[in-house]
Copies of this chain bind each other. A is one copy, B any other.
C-alpha cells in the first residue's frame, strides 16, 4: 500500500470516527469542521494554525484567524485533535473514541509525532498527584527527541 493511500485511509477513518462521535453526542460536524479536520489529517505530521488557515483559504478565501481557532477549539474540546503545547501545533487524534492519558513522541528531525497511551502514565499522574493533594484535570506530556526512522 502506498503512503498516499495510507494517509487517505487514515483521514477517512478519522472522519468516520468523528462523525460517529458527533452523532452520538449531539454535536454538529459542520462542513467547515470537516474541512479543517481533513486538512489536519492530510498533513503527515503536525500542523500550525496559520498554515491550516492558508490551506483553508484555498477553498474558502474568506477564512480568517477566528475561523481556524474556533474550529480548532471545537475539535480539541471533543477530543478529535490535540494541541502540542511545546510546538504551538495541532495533530489529529487517532483514537478519539477512547479517552486515555496520552503522551506524544515528537521527532525534532522529521515532523512526525507518535501519540501513545499507557496505563503507566495515568498511574504516575494519579499517584504523584495524590502525593501533593492535587486534583489533576489536564495533562500535557510531550517528549521531544529523535524517532526510529531518523536514527538510521
Q: How many copies does the complex hold?
A: 2
Are A137 and B108 in touch, CB under 8 angstroms? yes
- Inter-chain CA distance A87–B20, complex, in Å, is 32
Across the interface, which residues of B come within 8 angstroms of A132, CB to CB? 105, 114, 116, 147-148
Q: How many of chain A's residues have a CB under 8 angstroms from any CB in B?
A: 35
With an 8 A cutoff between CB atoms, is A140 at the interface? yes
Binds B, one of A31-39, A52-60, A72-80, A121-129: A121-129
Q: Which residue of B lies closest to A142 (CB)?
A: B140
Q: Which residues of A contact B (CB under 8 A)?
A: 85-86, 103, 105, 107-108, 114, 116, 118, 120-121, 124-125, 127-129, 131-148, 151
